[in-house]
Homo-oligomer: A and B are copies of this chain.
């Protein structure tokens, strides 16, 4: 008899534990394949510690191939599912070639997506905390802020660099704020020009208290604890908009900051929401056996699925499995059992599980825990937190590595190595009215087009008294001189109203424009027409200006 092919899409908690159990139960009779866009499993509860550099990036994840022996692991991106033909369409390889995979049973475990579009500017300016790259990027960014703050001479810039905002105070927001705070505190001794009281950190929660899934007294303990570490906990207020220089709150306040972390905005996985399945609260509805109604061979679990815990669930989250790693793992085991039962004509079991409790780390060797109904807080809760996650982490190698990281981190100085990632070539940048886009003396690093709003360029030549002004609206552009010469900015550009620019980095813009004769001509003519030639274009800023503006300490 041909082996039945089970495809699991998504290699997070749900997918991995489902695949593992399936392989064990079905050894010899099932052919299990897991598809994931990375070749590793991310232990999400440790991401805040990666961001705080308590743990090496590579140590908070486990290679899927090592975790899942006897399961075929495919590093590929799922692009679509054809339920009628029972195939999954994936893109794989460096050249992204499409491949169709046939299944007999399909397990969907793609998790959720992040949707920050409801808050203007958030998607372009906030860092998220969903996967390893996010955590790594946050760490790099925070250390970069300290590096620059240590050497800048402008008070305003320094304050912005030393203000950190975390939006959302569920447990990932709380843990991220606490961990980043701790990294900054520990690192400060290496930044002699930053005083501890120059650091600002805000944790912003729209609900009227933090940690909504915890009992109120633990949340209160946590709030006190976070405040004593110098974190400003703001509840009952949300973020209204974000720009490159800060956030605006729903109460009208503006906080200048170079760092916005969003742990809010959990939304449906973009692919999942396109499949035409019956969804609620952004999750795929399943029956109590984790089958997707109407799709005979399809199952769903984890954060992506809405699994009822009772027979007649009400419109109330408590009647459904919660979106936690704990639940996903249990679901994985049981879903495997159900698939096996189905294929062998046995009876399926409805999903039932009671949470063992919740834990949240607060940094500084403190935590809150609500375990088997017992409420704990402080250092003991924190040790419990560590022990629990260590035991939970799959694979001995991973446990050992994380354990070693913890030990090293407690006896060694904090790791402030800044492993930078190349910045994106194009990015949208939001501005509030009055914000400066650039000032004379800055390095010309790219080109801007106006998407909306209006921006004013002013060039003053102190030597000759010449003055030049121009306003740019949607579809217009500035900074094209980068094509002709890489020099310092001679003009000042300010937003006349709230607006949005597209920035294109110098290297990429130059490559594009020069590869393309008609574009190259367009810009040459434009410079001629607007500034009266390339030479003229650079005249207004005197060479002395550069020297005035270069700030020495």
Question: Which residues of chain A have a CB within 8 Å of any CB of chain B?
Answer: 38-40, 56-59, 61-63, 65-66, 72, 74-76, 89, 91-102, 132-133, 136, 143-144, 147-148, 150-152, 157, 190-192, 258, 397, 400-401, 404, 408, 412-413, 415-422, 424-426, 428, 438, 441-443, 445, 449, 451, 475, 477, 488, 502, 504-505, 507-508, 511-512, 515-519, 522, 546-547, 549-553
* 6 residue pairs, one from A and one from B, having the closest CB atoms: A425-B425, A65-B190, A93-B148, A96-B443, A75-B147, A449-B515
Is B522 a contact partner of A518 (Cβ separation < 8 A)? yes
Provide the residues of chain B in CB contact with A443, threshold 8 Å.
91, 95-98
Is A517 a contact partner of B147 (Cβ separation < 8 A)? no
Seed contacts A58-B419, A66-B413, A96-B443; 4 additional CB < 8 Å A-B pairs: A72-B192, A98-B488, A99-B551, A100-B547
**Residue from B61, B89, B132, B511 in contact with A426 in the complex, judged by beta carbons closer than 8 Å:** B511
Instruction: Identify 10 residue pairs between A and B in the complex whose beta-carbon atoms are under 8 Å apart, listed by A's number.
Output: A38-B418, A57-B57, A61-B417, A72-B192, A97-B152, A97-B443, A99-B151, A425-B425, A425-B505, A449-B516
Is B72 a contact partner of A425 (Cβ separation < 8 A)? no
Q: Which of A62, A75, A408 has the most CB of B within 10 A?
A: A75
Copies of the protein in its oligomer: 2
Is A101 a contact partner of B148 (Cβ separation < 8 A)? no
Provide the residues of chain B in CB contact with A192, threshold 8 Å.
72
Q: Is the interface of A mostly helix, strand, loop or mixed?
A: mixed
In the complex formed, the residue of B with least CB distance to A89 is B550
Provide the residues of chain B in CB contact with A549, threshold 8 Å.
98
A38–B57 Cα distance when bound, in Å, is: 19
In the complex formed, the residue of B with least CB distance to A153 is B99
Provide the residues of chain B in CB contact with A511, threshold 8 Å.
426, 428, 502
Is B38 a contact partner of A97 (Cβ separation < 8 A)? no
Is A101 a contact partner of B426 (Cβ separation < 8 A)? no
Is B143 a contact partner of A39 (Cβ separation < 8 A)? yes
Is B94 a contact partner of A57 (Cβ separation < 8 A)? no
Provide the residues of chain B in CB contact with A191, threshold 8 Å.
65
A426–B446 Cα distance when bound, in Å, is: 14
A262–B400 Cα distance when bound, in Å, is: 36
Is B442 a contact partner of A63 (Cβ separation < 8 A)? no
Provide the residues of chain B in CB contact with A151, threshold 8 Å.
74-76, 92-93, 99
In the complex formed, the residue of B with least CB distance to A407 is B404
In the complex formed, the residue of B with least CB distance to A59 is B56
**Residue from B40, B92, B150, B419 in contact with A148 in the complex, judged by beta carbons closer than 8 Å:** B92
A551–B97 Cα distance when bound, in Å, is: 9
Q: Which of A94, A148, A449, A550 has the most CB of B within 10 A?
A: A94
Provide the residues of chain B in CB contact with A100, threshold 8 Å.
547, 550, 552
A234 to chain B, nearest CB (A): 26
A39–B420 Cα distance when bound, in Å, is: 10
